[in-house]
Amino acid sequence: MVDEDDHEHDDEVLEQLLGGNEVHIDGLPSEHFSAVKSGQHPEVVSVCCSDSRVPQERMWGVEDPGTVFTPSNIGNQVWDDDGGERIVDGGVLYPIHHAGTEVAAIVGHTGCGAVTAAYDVATGADEPGPRGVDKWIDLLVPVVEEALESNLVDADADRETVINQLVEYNVDYQATFLRESEDVPEDVDVYGFVYDFQGIYGNEDGRTYLVNVNGETDPDVIADLIPDRYETATHSLLY
Ligand SMILES: [Zn+2]
């Protein structure tokens, strides 16, 4: 029996999902999964913001299954709160400890709503709610507060500029947290990126700007660490 008050589902979106999966199936080469049917060994764990404008595998041009382990949350946070203690989240640690992954990428993005909310809370606004959202915003607020106190961010700049600086600061912060955690082996490489679809870092929408390589954040130094043709793929908004 269907209750009269029952929420009617959105036929259109559901049909799009089913149809989209059909397209996915039709597009798969035969043997697509053959190398990974019985297990995975992803090269990288990519901690991304869940934002719908930030496509986790497509941004890396990845077609093959088993390549990228893709934990995501609001604000691309590598941690979780465990009874008041910050621990590295299982979505990040699982591939490192159980699937042989030795590279972690943290991917923020321009105009991040989670960072914006944390900035608003840090500067006196109410939490956005509900509680499940507030928990993750609250974890970002101290990062934002530290950033605003630092000399890396111009707290007096216009809102868009401050928020994009905070996005990058948060990527660096998350990267440092990972590198300093005892749960992350020393030989794991940690890279930080900011995905730009708003022309903030440069003119190439969809570019992941490399902002952190194992703690190195100077774009000139980073440029020397990567092939010449990617020289413009590193930049920083921080002072
Ligand atoms: Zn975001």
CATH of the domain at 131: 3.40.1050.10
Domain assignment of residue 204, yes or no: yes
Tokens encoding 212 = 């952190």
DSSP letter at 59 equals: G
**112 marked as binding residue:** yes
- Report the separation in Å between the CA atom of 27 and the middle of ligand 1, taken as the mean of its atom positions: 30
Answer whether residue 22 is part of any domain: no
Q: What is the DSSP letter of 234?
A: B
- 49 labelled binding-site residue: yes
Residue 217 lies in a domain: yes
Distance 227 CA to ligand 1 centre (A): 29
Phi-psi region of 124 (alpha: psi -120 to 50; beta: other; left: phi over 0): left
Q: Please check whether residue 5 lies inside any domain of the structure.
A: no
- Identify whether 208 is part of a domain: yes
Rounded distance from Cα 29 to ligand 1 centre (Å): 33
pTM of the model: 0.96
46 in any annotated domain: yes
DSSP-derived letter for residue 153 is S
**Could you tell me the distance, in angstroms and rounded to a whole number, from the CA of residue 53 to the centre of ligand 1?**
9
**Is there a domain that residue 27 lies in?**
no
- Three-state SS for 60? helix
Query: What are the residues whose beta carbon lies below 5 Å from ligand 1 (ion)?
Result: 49, 51, 112, 114
**Helix, coil or strand: residue 193:** strand
In a domain, 171, yes or no: yes
CA-CA-CA-CA dihedral for 126, 128, 70, 159, to nearest 10 = -60
- Residue 163 alpha carbon to ligand 1 centre in Å: 11
- Domain of 229 in residue numbering reads as 41-233
- One digit per residue, the tens of pLDDT, for the chain of length 239 reads 555 566 777 899 999 999 999 999 999 999 999 999 999 999 999 999 999 999 999 999 999 999 999 999 999 999 999 999 999 999 999 999 999 999 999 999 999 999 999 999 999 999 999 999 999 999 999 999 999 999 999 999 999 999 999 999 999 999 999 999 999 999 999 999 999 999 999 999 999 999 999 999 999 999 999 999 999 999 999 98
* Domain count across the chain: 1
Torsion of CA 84, 189, 180, 71, to 10 degrees: 0
- Residue 56: helix, strand or coil by DSSP? coil
Cis-peptide into 185, omega within 30 deg: no
Give me ligand 1 centre to Cα 48, in Å.
8
State residue 176's pLDDT score. Answer: 98
